[in-house]
Chains A and B, each alone.
Chain A
Amino acid sequence: MARYTPPVQSKFGQITDVIVLLLLTVGALYIPLWLGLAGSAKTANVPENPTWESLGQNPVMVEKWNQLGYADPASAAELITARFDYSFSIASLVVMIVVIVGYYAIMLKLSEKEYRDVIAEKFGESRS
């Protein structure tokens, strides 16, 4: 197999590549944050005039809340009643599975193509 000679990348090209990678990286985290889509699906259901009993706290728990600086039930109510929402649709689960499996499938397929070129150039064309 003919040896592949890569082109020499200009300094401008190198800088451009780094900036592209940086933008993609920052975007991956910040775009969901900016769109308000990120974060846990967590909601608090605080009752009116909460008491330690209505929040399901026994005397030992109340003592611990007090030690942690929560002197009254109202101050701790939001923490105590916060719950994740784990409801999901089968469609969204299927989408997630397809995205993950598809990602690995694409990557392994393209990697295999590149890898065969590497091996062929390193060791010569396959004898079989």
Chain B
Amino acid sequence: MAEFDITSKTMDGMGPHGTNVGLLRVLGPAHVWALGVGIVLVGEYMGWNIAVGKGGAYAALIACWFAGLLYSCVAMIDSEVTSTVAAAGGQYTQAKHIVGPLMAFNVGLYLVFAYTMLEAANAITVGFLIDTVAVMTGHEGLDQRPFIVLAIMFLAWLNYRGVLATLTFSLVITAIAFSAILILFFATSPIFGSDVLQHRALMTDLPYGWLGVLAAMHFGLWYYLGIEGTTQAAEEVRSPARALPFGTLAGIMTLLIAATLTWYVCVGLMPWEYLGQAGVPLFDAARLSGSTALMVLLGIGTLFATLASANGCINDASRAWFAMGRDHYLPSWFGAVHPVYRTPYRSIIFLVPIALIFALGAPLDQVITFSILSGLLEYTFMPINVIMFRRKWPLGSIKRGYQHPFHPVPAVVLLCLCGIAFFAVFLGYGTQLVAMISFYVIVSLWFHFRRYRYVRRAAQFTMPWPRPQGY
């Protein structure tokens, strides 16, 4: 067994790469939870409801649970591999060591674009929320763009200044946003005597039949998309073997609860035709509850959830971009760490205009679909990754922080659910699917035939593991 202790305090920063200035190991399990849930919780505040539009209210609930199963498999697989490959870049670094450089390059791009598009979607929602509030207070015709720019610039600055402050900020606002969902549920629940929920009158049959249930899986993913981002903090947590599995699995449980409560409250307060096209459904639900206090709370919750998510997205996308720069998969200029704040500052700055281009110029459902597709391609990679990981380094051959049970059942289930989700995207958004895959095919060829010449071969393999079996 290799003598590499992933809980080592002496491996501070970019230990495996042996550089002097590295990322700071300052985060605990709560920060990991906040990073995962913080990115994703916005999915309860906006976006998930398009699943209602694609298949009806019941379809969205079925999609919520099946997507929950998909993400439980993702969390189990991710916890094992990440607690063993504890390095910045998350799944990118995993792919580099387990599958190969081209796969790693693609996974790095999946991560960057899934998170950058999610960040853009969050900024669009901030603008939409402020516009909605302006209209409600009699100020029609508000220009949303300055708020979109301000949100992205402020969070990029926060990320530039340091990871601990950034994720502590996320921890606080995520906790408030999650509490707001719980308060809305309890305040409107018949358990406490309220009678505002009217499921019997508002719920309808499946408007598209069972085909709509399949189609709803597309936006069902939005309930949880980004939970796998916990792995990006691998080089910055004090105890990867403990904090990463704990934070990730606690995160998915939190989201399953929040998603189900969100669905229950919203479908009991508004017609499915409206809900399926709403921009800020939980805020609308609070408006329909008749309570001004709830409306204010959920308005704040929506704002905080979008900021926490965008914050985490900047954190994760920049780590993935940074890791690719460090390995020369991208120009090495991006692989620099700030000498004072010890953050990947060039990557953080570089991704700001990309987020702005999409936030200011593309419709929300397109941006979300772009993000979901990148996420889906990444989830399809995960079962391949874990099966190869167990084959190349069987249990006992290297030290693992966590071993997920029932292998290969989660991998097979995940692969099947990804197939269903691809079909769901195909129903209604087939053009984007083909455009997206075409993009990845072209950049793959570009990487293999041009970019890879600048990459050192053996230097990519930085984990102190033995030779993989079969090679």
Contact = CB atoms under 8 A, between A and B. Distances in A.
A118 B461 CA distance: 7
A15 to B, nearest CB: 8
A33 B366 contact: yes
Contacts of B53: 82, 84
Contact of B443 (A4, A24, A33, A67): A24
Interface size class of B (residues with CB under 8 A): 35 or more
B365 A68 contact: no
Nearest to B451: A17
A108 B365 CA distance: 31
B330 A99 contact: no
A61 B203 CA distance: 10
Interface string A2-29: 0111110100001101101110111111
A67 B101 contact: no
Interface in B252-274: 269-271, 273-274
B202 interface: yes
B99 A111 contact: yes
Given A24-B442, A84-B427, A96-B434, A65 B422 contact: no
Contacts of A110: 100, 102, 444, 448
Interface stretch (B3-11, B33-41, B63-71, B354-362): B354-362
A65 B275 CA distance: 11
B431 interface: yes
Contacts of B441: 103, 106
A54 interface: no
Given A17-B451, A67-B287, A86 B471 contact: no
B92 to A, nearest CB: 13
B440 A64 contact: no
Nearest to A85: B428
B435 interface: yes
A78 B306 CA distance: 28
A24 to B, nearest CB: 6
B436 interface: yes
A84 B435 contact: no
B99 A108 contact: yes
Interface string A67-93: 110000000100110111110100011
B438 interface: yes
Contact of B458 (A64, A86, A99, A122): A122
Contacts of B451: 17
Chain A interface mostly helix, strand, loop or mixed? helix
Given A65-B271, A80-B273, A100-B437, A86 B448 contact: no
A65 B365 CA distance: 23
Given A18-B331, A123-B467, A126-B471, A6 B288 contact: no
Contacts of B350: 18
A121 B354 contact: no
A117 B446 CA distance: 19
B372 to A, nearest CB: 13
B471 A42 contact: no
A3 B331 contact: no
A19 to B, nearest CB: 11
Contacts of B468: 119
Contacts of B333: 14
Given A28-B439, A64-B270, A79-B273, A88 B380 contact: no
Contact of B429 (A5, A40, A112): A40
Contacts of B102: 107, 110-111, 114
A104 B460 CA distance: 22
**Max chain B C-beta neighbours (<10 A), residue from A64, A65, A68:** A64
Nearest 9 pairs of A and B residues by beta carbon: A111-B100, A115-B100, A28-B439, A14-B331, A60-B201, A121-B458, A122-B458, A111-B103, A123-B467
Given A28-B439, A29-B362, A121-B457, 14 more contacts: A9-B331, A26-B357, A32-B435, A60-B202, A61-B271, A64-B202, A64-B288, A68-B287, A79-B274, A79-B277, A86-B428, A96-B426, A111-B101, A115-B101
8 contacts: A9-B331, A24-B446, A60-B198, A60-B201, A84-B208, A88-B430, A110-B444, A123-B471
